[in-house]
Amino acid sequence: MAVFEPFDRNLARCGLNLVRGKTLALQINVGYLCDLRCRHCHLEAGPERREVMTGETMNDLIDYASRVYFETIDITGGAPELVPGIRSFLARLAPLTRRLILRTNLVALREEAASGLMESCREMGVALVASFPSINSAQADALRGNGIWGKSLDVMRDLNQLGYGRPGSGLTLDLVVNPAGAFLPGNQDQAERRFKQSLERHGTLFNNLYSFANAPLGRYRTWLEQSGNLDHYFKTLFECFNPATIEGLMCRSLISVSWDGTLYDCDFNIAAGLPHGAAKVHVSSMTGFPEEGAVIATGDHCYACTAGAGFT
């Protein structure tokens, strides 16, 4: 017997529609190349991946962001730091938006390919959002690789030296944490207090912490299957379904573009292979915002966004 109801059927039973609102943010996934191979990565990024955004697609994105004003442009990967041309891509995007975000796993900023990128980000006022799996060093290393926890703290200290995470600097360093196992995140405010106390003892500072459930996709899904936790995890997500999260879901106000220029309603849908709209749309053909009221492509992984406090 199925342990949960399919997501779209559950929405219909609750009388809910998941449709796009006004689009405020452009999220750009520049590829799956990464220096790490984290256990919970929904895109299965890693050093062996060759899917990275070309200069031509970057130009298409610049053209789109010039035609259409997005309040936020959010660059993610993989490790965006390692993608050839990333620094000039950021420099060309910065004047086109109010808030430019670069997602980082921290340690990639120390790779040779990213030399000087931290300083460039400071000069451009780029906000950094860093994944940081745990304040427990053994747990973090189990998820990311030996020695990564200590190296991450070293990079945080470098960033703090540049002003990131320091009160009044205007340079934001936020952390994102996902649960280490097959369970939902606890209270975000309490987690932030705990992380601040712990990381300050290690001489590091950050601004805000966001804790989100893991999407059951990619490498995290494989781990759930291999550890016998898949049914239990879906059952937990289903039982914690919170209809109040629908209104604020990120897919209502964000459009995501994959490394090859295809549009998706969110980064999880890139991993799930569910493009935005009925047919694949390339960013170069977009003349405006995605249409308000358009239906969002969903799958059962959407339960990760709608459980408990939700993923907004």
In the complex, the residues that contact ligand SF4 under the rule CB under 6 A are 249-251, 265-266, 268-269, 296, 298, 301-302, 305, 311
**Nearer to ligand SF4 by C-beta: 77 or 275?**
275
Q: Compute the least distance from the CB of residue 248 to ligand SF4, in Å.
A: 10
**Smallest distance, Å, CB 155 to ligand SF4?**
28
CB of 270 to ligand SF4, least distance (A): 9
Q: Of 259 and 311, which has the nearer Cβ to ligand SF4?
A: 311
The dihedral region occupied by 287, where left means phi > 0, alpha psi between -120 and 50, and beta the remainder, is alpha
CB of 88 to ligand SF4, least distance (A): 30
CB of 234 to ligand SF4, least distance (A): 14
Residue among 57 and 269 whose Cβ is closer to ligand SF4: 269
Nearer of residues 41 and 109 to ligand SF4, judged by Cβ? 41
β-pairing verdict for 127-131 and 97-104: parallel
Taking the complex as a whole, the smallest distance from the CB of residue 266 to ligand SF4 amounts, in Å, to 3
Question: Nearer Cβ to ligand SF4, position 71 or 119?
Answer: 71
Nearer to ligand SF4 by C-beta: 40 or 144? 40
Q: Is 165 exposed, middle or buried (0-12, 13-18, 19+ CB in 10 A)?
A: buried
Nearer to ligand SF4, 76 or 207 (CB): 76
Least distance from ligand SF4 to the Cβ atom of residue 254, Å: 8
Least distance (Å) from ligand SF4 to the CB of residue 296? 5
HEC states along the chain?
Answer: CCCCCCHHHHHHHCCCCCECCCCCEEEEECECECCCCCCCCCCCCECCCCCECCHHHHHHHHHHHHHCCEEEEEEECCCHHHCCCHHHHHHHHHHHEEEEEEEECCHHHHCHHHCCHHHHHHHHCCEEEEECCCCCHHHHHHHHCCCHHHHHHHHHHHHHHHCCCCCCCCCCEEEEECCCCCCCCCCHHHHHHHHHHHHHHCCCCCCCEEECCCCCCHHHHHHHHHCCCHHHHHHHHHHCECHHHHHHCHHHCEEEECCCCEEECCHHHHHHCCECCCCCCEHHHCCCCCCCCCECCCCHHHHHHHECCCCC
Q: Between 60 and 300, whose beta carbon lies closer to ligand SF4? A: 300
